[in-house]
Structure 1
Amino acid sequence: MEEKITKTENKNTHQKERYFFYTDQLTVGYDGKPLIKEINIQLKKGEILTLIGPNGAGKSTILKSITRQLATISGTVYLDKQTMSKMSNKEVSQKLAVVLTERMRPELMTCEDIVATGRYPYTGTLGILSAEDKAKVRKAMETVHAWDLKDRDFTAISDGQRQRILLARAICQEPEIIVLDEPTSFLDIRHKLELLTILKQMVLDHQLTVIMSLHELDLAQKVSDKVICVHGEYIEKYGAPEEIFTSEYIRNLYGITRGSYNAAFGCVEMEAPKGTPQVFVIGGNGSGIPVYRKLQRQGIPFAAGVLHTNDVDYQVAGALADKVISEQPFECISQNACDQAAEIMRQCKEVICPLKDFGTMNARNRELLQLAEELGLLKNKA
C-alpha cells in the first residue's frame, strides 16, 4: 500500500514540475452525481486547450469545476504546482481569470467599472484603484477595441459588446491562465477573429495559458494546441488538432447524419440532393465549388468530373455530388475515366463547365466539353 502511495506521489510531483496546469483523475457533475469521470488534463505555459463536443455533453461543467465555480466530485486540480482547493480566492484570482457565459446583470455599472473589477485582486481592502490600475483598465479595453464603450451602461450594450468587455476584464486581471466558456458565441466574424487573435498574441507575448470551449470547429482546429472531445461518461479523445479533426471522427462525435464535415476545409457541407444526376459539372482547380453549392441549394442532383483526388473541387464534390469521376493525383486523365464521365454525361439533361483552363493533366476534360457541345447539352460555360 505504501509503495502504491509513493508511486502516486512521485507521479504527481513529476506532473507538478512539468505542467503549469493539470488535473489528476478529476470527476465532475452535479449533486454528487458524476457526469464525466477521470479527466486528466496536462498543459504547459503558453498552450491553448479547446473543449469541443455536442451541446449538453459537459464542457461548461468541466470549466466551472476547474475554476471552482462548481464543486468537484473527486480528483485534484493543480495550478502552478499548487493544489487549487488549498489556494485562497485571492491567490487563484492573481493567476487565473474566468469568462463564463452567464449574463451578468450588475446595477448602475459602466463598462469601465466592470473592467476595473479585474484589478480587485491587486487592490487593498477598499478596492481603490491607483493611477497604474486605471491605466491597465484603459489598456485592456483598448486591446479589445472597447474604450469607446467605457461610459456605457453594461446592461444596455449588445451581447457581442458585453463579451468583449468581459474579456477586457479578464485581460486587466493579468492572469497566467484564462478560462473561457464559448467566448465567440455572440460575436460577428470580425470580432471572433479579433478575440482569438488577441488570445493568441497574449499566448505568444506573455506565455498565457488558455482553456476554452468552442462550437466553431474551424476556429478550434486553427487556434488550438490541444483539443479535448467531451462525449459520454469519459473524455473521448485528447490530443493535437491533427489527430482530432478527421471527417469521420467529427461526424461520429457529433452524430452527424444529415450533411457532412470536411476536415480538410474545416467546414460543414449540407446534405447532397437525392436522385439521379440531372446536371454534369466539368470543374477543377476550385472552379466547380460555387456551382456544386448552388445546385445543392436548388435541390438538383448532379455528377462531377473528371477531378484529380488532390483537387480542391474533389473535396466538395465528394460531399455534394451523386457521382464523382476521379483520377489519381499528378496523373493525366485516363481514357477510362474520360469514358466513364462521358457515359454519365450523356444521361444528364445539362452540362455546366466553369473550368476555363485546360493543361496536360486535364486535357481530356476539354474532350468532354467538346462532346457536351456536340450533344447540345452545354448550357453554361462559366
Structure 2
Amino acid sequence: MNAYYLQTEQMTVGYHGKPLIEKINLCLRRGEIMTLIGPNGSGKSTILKSIVRQLRPLGGVVRLEQVSLEELSPQAVAQKMSVLMTDRLQPELMTCREVAAAGRYPYTGKLGLLTQRDWEKVDEALALVHGSALADQAFTAISDGQRQRVLLARALCQEPEILVLDEPTSFLDIRYKLEILSTLKELVRQRQLAVVLSLHELDLAQRVSDLVVCVHNNAIERCGPPEAVFTSDYITTLYELTQGSYEPGYGSLELPRVQGAVKAFVIGGNGEGIGTYRRLQREGVPFVAGVLHENDVEFPAARALAVEVIAQKAFEPIGAAQYQQAMAWLERCERVFCCCETFGTMNEPNRWLKQAARERGKLVDWTEVPHGL
C-alpha cells in the first residue's frame, strides 16, 4: 500500500487565536480524491486554507510526504501543491494562455521569464482541461465554466503532486460541473495526483470521491468511503434536514410528501411513475402508489412522496394480498394515473388495476388536468 502523501496531525484551525475545529487527523494517498462536505459555515474552507497555509493552523502539523510544511520553502511547496480557491479572478487585458502561464511562477526565477519549455507546459495544461481553443481569447470574455477550466490549467502548470480546490463547481451549470470533475478524475488516474476539495453537490461528491470528510458541529464528524457516509439517516443528521428526504442510492433529494386525504392512485413501475409522483407533490395532491416491487428503480421516490406505497417483495409476482389492497385504494380515490404502457408476468395485476380504473371512469392522464386535480 502506498504511503500517505498528505497528513494532518492533530491540526487545530480557527481565526484570531480562537479554535473552530480541533484535532483534525486526515490522510490521503496519491491517486485519491478526498472531498469535504457539510453545512455552510461548518469550517470546510477554513480547513482547506489551513492545509495550504493561507491560514496558520493554531496547532498540529501538516505534512507532505512525511515532511512538515513548516520545513519547506514557499517555492518548494508551490512545486508540490496547487491551490484553486473560490476567489473570482478578474485579470484585465490577459488572454487565457497568459492566465494559465501564471502557474509557472515556481519555476521562472525572480524575473518571471518563461522559456520555451514553460510555454510547452502551459499548452499541455490547457489541452488537459480541453481548453486549447480558449488560449488566445480574453479571460474576461469567456464563460464561468471556461474560466474554471483555465484556472485549473493554471494550477496544473505548477506540475503539482496535490491539488487543493475549494468549491470548484460553484457558479457552473451542469455541463461544466461534469466536465471539471471528469477532468479531475482523469488527472488523478493518469498522473496519480492527490486531490482535496470541498463540494456542496452531494450527488457529485458521492460519485467522484474516494474519501469523504464530514464537517459538522465544530468537528470532523465522520470520514470514510462514500458508501459509508451517504446514508439517508446520516445525511439527514449532517445537514439537520427538517423537510424532505435524501435518497442515497441516487444521491437525490425529495421534497416532503403531501399529507391529507388521499385523492389519487398511481400505477407505476420501471421508473415511469417518478414524474407523476413529483407532479402530484407539486400540485399538493396526496396519493398512494402501487403495486411496486421493492427493487423497482422508482420505489425510493414513491416511498418518499406517497402517503402509502403498496409493495411487493423483489423478484416475486404481485400477490393477491397486494392486489386487493391496491383495489381498495383504487375504489376510494377520485383519479387513477397509470404510467405503464406494457406489463409482464411479474406485474400482470397492475394491468387489471388499470382496466378496473378505466371501467369506473377514473383513469386519466395529465393532459386532461394541466393545472392539477
TM-score normalised by the shorter chain: which range applies? over 0.9
The match for 2:187 is: 202
The Cα offsets for residues 122-167 of structure 1, whole Å up to 9 and x where unpaired, read as: 1222111111111111221232233343344434544333222211
Q: Which residue of 2 aligns with 1:5?
A: none
Any idea what SS the aligned residue of 1:236 has?
Answer: strand
1:377 to 358, 362, 369: 362
Cα distance between partner residues in 1 of 2:9 and 2:334: 62
CA distance in 2, matches of 1:149, 1:353: 50
Aligned to 2:111: 126
Question: Are residue 295 (structure 1) and residue 285 (structure 2) matched?
Answer: no
Structure 1's unaligned 5+ residue stretches are 1-14
Contact preservation (8 Å) 1:51, 1:227 = yes
Name the residue aligned to 2:250.
Answer: 265
The equivalent of 2:87 in structure 1 is 102
For 1:371 and 1:157, the matched residues in 2 are separated by: 58
CA–CA separation in structure 2 for the residues paired with 1:106 and 1:265? 40
2:3 to 8, 13, 18: 18
Match of 1:94, SS state, is helix
Match status 1:248 vs 2:236: no
Residue 175 of structure 1: aligned partner: 160
CA distance in 1, matches of 2:366, 2:79: 63
Provide the C-alpha distance between the structure 1 equivalents of 2:90 and 2:318, rounded to a whole number of angstroms: 64
How far the C-alpha of 1:339 sits from its partner, in A, is: 1.2
The residue that corresponds to 1:11 in the other structure is none
1:155 & 1:124 partners in 2: Cα distance?
28
String of CA shifts for 1:3-33, please: whole Å, max 9, x gaps. Answer: xxxxxxxxxxxx9x83111111111010011
Q: Is the 8 A contact 1:309 1:328 kept in 2?
A: yes
Q: Which residue of 1 aligns with 2:371?
A: none
Normalization by structure 2: what TM-score?
0.94
1 CA distance for matches of 2:182 and 2:365? 42
Structure 2 residue matching 1:113: 3-state secondary structure:
helix
Aligned ranges for residues 1-382 of structure 1 at < 5 Å?
18-380=3-365
**RMSD (Å), alpha carbons:** 1.8
Q: Which amino acid aligns with 1:281?
A: V
Kindly provide the amino acid, as one letter, of the partner of residue 193 in structure 1: L
**CA positional deviation for 1:365:** 1.5
CA distance in 2, matches of 1:162, 1:358: 49
CA contact (8 A) 2:4 2:28 kept: yes
| CA contact 2:43–2:218 (8 Å) conserved in 1 | no
| Aligned pairs, number | 367
Which sits farther off after the overlay, 191-200 or 109-118? Answer: 109-118
CA contact under 8 A between 1:353 and 1:381: conserved in structure 2? Answer: no
Runs of 4+ in 1 over 4 A off after TM superposition: none
Q: Deviations over 1:262-285 (max 9, x none)?
A: 111111112222322211011111
Give the TM-score normalised by structure 1: 0.92
Deviation at 1:312, TM superposition (A): 1.1
Matched position secondary structure for 2:298: helix
Q: Is the 8 A contact 1:51 1:230 kept in 2?
A: yes
Q: Is the 8 A contact 1:179 1:212 kept in 2?
A: yes
Determine what percentage of the aligned residue pairs are the same residue: 55
